[in-house]
Amino acid sequence: MAEKALKAGATTFQYFSRNPRGGSVKSLNIKDIENFLKIKKDNFSQIVAHSPYVLNLCSKTESIRNYSKNMLAEDLARTDLIPGVLYNLHPGSHTGQGKDLGIEQISKALNEVLKQEQKTVVLLETMAGKGSEIGGNFSELRKIIDNVELKSKIGVCFDTCHVFDSGYDIVNDLDGVFEKFDNTIGIGMLKAVHLNDSKNLCASKKDRHEKIGKGNIGMETFSKIVNNPYLRNLPFILETPQESTEGWKEEIAVLRKISENGTKN
Ligand code: FE
Ligand code: FE
Ligand code: ZN
């Protein structure tokens, strides 16, 4: 993963903390970690771990909630071995229980898992709001954060495709959307950005990523995003559908070109 990111000319990258669909995990290999720490020191300041898709802290099924909570605790024990890791988490899907209960369960689980001595910061990802997903609007994320006790261990990851699909018009009113984000969550909570174009229209609630500049968000908006002074120093992660590392390499090169100060990727 780190080698691939280097090949693509990236200065950050995201990896899945475990099998994204099944949730299984390889046993820890200290040698791997030591090797990676060497590469990381020279090349990457911050990297992002992504939670597996099966993790759902607010499922209506109690055993899934508990399984998810244990998985999260285990993942965070691992990310804590690497300095400068952000852990990106899909808040969850309430699977019919309703948003209020879902939000309550997410905050409760986070309070049980987060530890004062933990170094990893957990990021709640802005979601597209498909199905019963929580986090499809800024105020839901605010409510979760409000109920989390260890606020220094929590932040937000802004996914451009999700925010757009959930109904925030970043194409016609990017400043207005950031203002809303700031008023609702606080811009200081923003710790990472997922740069994805969208195959669908604003408010479609679909969550289908597209290559940068090839979807309904478009290059002009991405240019504004990578040049936004609030975002410039955050890790930008591409989650675009590419056939090979070459595709991301090209995207990174284009994004660097349009960013005034040379942005990270
Ligand atoms: Fe995600
Ligand atoms: Fe994302
Ligand atoms: Zn997505």
Hey, what domains does the chain have and what are their CATH numbers?
A: 2-258 (3.20.20.150)
Separation of 23 CA from ligand 2 center, angstroms? 18
- DSSP structural state of residue 28: P
- List per-residue pLDDT tens for the chain, 265 residues long: 899 999 999 999 999 999 988 888 888 888 888 889 999 988 898 999 999 999 999 999 999 999 999 999 999 999 999 988 999 999 999 999 999 999 999 999 999 999 999 999 999 999 999 999 999 999 999 999 999 999 999 999 999 999 999 999 999 999 999 999 999 999 999 999 999 999 999 999 999 999 999 999 999 999 999 999 889 889 999 999 999 999 999 999 999 999 865 445 5
Strands 92-93 and 133-134: antiparallel
Q: How far apart are CA 7 and CA 257, in angstroms?
A: 18
Closest ligand to C-alpha of residue 241 is 3
Distance from the CA of 184 to the center of ligand 2, in angstroms?
20
Q: Tell how far the Cα of 239 is from the centroid of ligand 2, in angstroms.
A: 7
Smallest-distance ligand from the CA of 20 = 1
Rounded Cα–Cα distance for residues 221 and 229 (Å) = 14
- Distance of CA 201 from the midpoint of ligand 3 (Å): 14
- Ligand nearest to the Cα of 87, by number: 1
Write down the pLDDT at residue 265: 53
Centre of ligand 2 from the C-alpha of residue 161, in Å = 8
Question: What element of type H or E holds 93?
Answer: strand 92-93
Ligand 3 centroid vs 260 CA: distance in angstroms?
27
Q: Cα(135)–Cα(85) distance, rounded to whole angstroms?
A: 22
- Nearest ligand to the CA of 159 is 2
Distance 225 CA to ligand 2 centre (A): 15
Residue 244 CA to ligand 3 center (angstroms) comes to 19
Tokens 């689980």, residue located: 109
Provide φ and ψ at 159, rounded to 5°.
-95, 115
Whole-number pLDDT of residue 230: 87
What is residue 263's predicted lDDT score, i.e. its pLDDT? 46
Gap between the Cα atoms of 178 and 126, Å rounded:
13
Task: State the Cα–Cα distance between residues 110 and 103, nearest whole angstrom.
Answer: 11
